[in-house]
Amino acid sequence: MKKSKQYREFFSHSLRKLFRTIKIELVIITALMYALLILTSCRNSEKNQKQVEQNHPQQEEENHNHEHSGHSQQMNETRDWLKQELGEKYNQPVSPSTEEQLVQGKNIFTKYCITCHGSSGKGDGPGATTLQPKPADFTDPEHSSFYSNQGRIYLIKKGMKGTAMAAWENILSEEEILSVYAYVNSLKNSGEMMEHHEQNH
């Protein structure tokens, strides 16, 4: 009986020791698996971050090209619309601007237009950041010569569809509209001078 009791105690003690060992090993294995999972997650995160950084310039370029393509299409459609609206008048010359018109045009531009077009007419006013497409850059010679002079006057009157450019014919008089055109048209000279300066340096 005594030996039987000793065997039972020994067996029970051995089982408890075995279970304790297994429990410890399970804890260690679980901890190792958790650490491995975290390490794998970190590596994947670093890999994804590098992939994003590598693709970022390409994505920016694609977005820029898409935006430029869409803007060019809109300008072409606007020019076709202007030619249809104005007919032969589209290519008719506009009288040279006077100093009085330039002064009046600048005052009106400063009052109504700089929020979107900026104080220098580059299309970088505080309100331009949320606009799509962006406001016109009047200092860009290529943009300024895209429409005829009569076409640009008509755009001031009627506005431009699909943009934030509003119609001003019910706010400004014919004289004031011509003055705004005169001032805006003068801004392209600063762009041409800048382009000429860059080409010679």
Instruction: Give the start-to-end residue ranges of the domains of the chain.
Output: 1-73, 92-199
Structure-model confidence comparison of residues 194 and 125, the more confident one: 125
Task: Give this prediction's pTM.
Answer: 0.62
**Cβ neighbours for 143, distance < 8 A, ≥ 6 positions apart:** 136, 137
C-alpha to C-alpha distance for 131 and 123, rounded to whole angstroms: 10
Summarised one tens digit per residue, pLDDT across range 71-114 is: 788 899 999 999 999 999 999 999 999 999 999 999 999 999 99
At residue 18, the pLDDT reads 59
- Residue 121 confidence (pLDDT): 94
Residue 199 has, within 13 A of its CA and on its CB side, a CA count of 6
CATH number assigned to the domain with residue range 92-199, chosen from the 4 options 1.20.1440.230, 3.10.450.50, 3.90.1300.10, 1.10.760.10: 1.10.760.10
Q: For residue 161, what pLDDT band results from cuts at 50, 70 and 90?
A: confident
Angle at 197 between CA 196 and CA 201, to 5 degrees: 120
**pLDDT tens-digit readout, 35-68:** 445 445 445 545 555 554 555 455 545 444 444 5
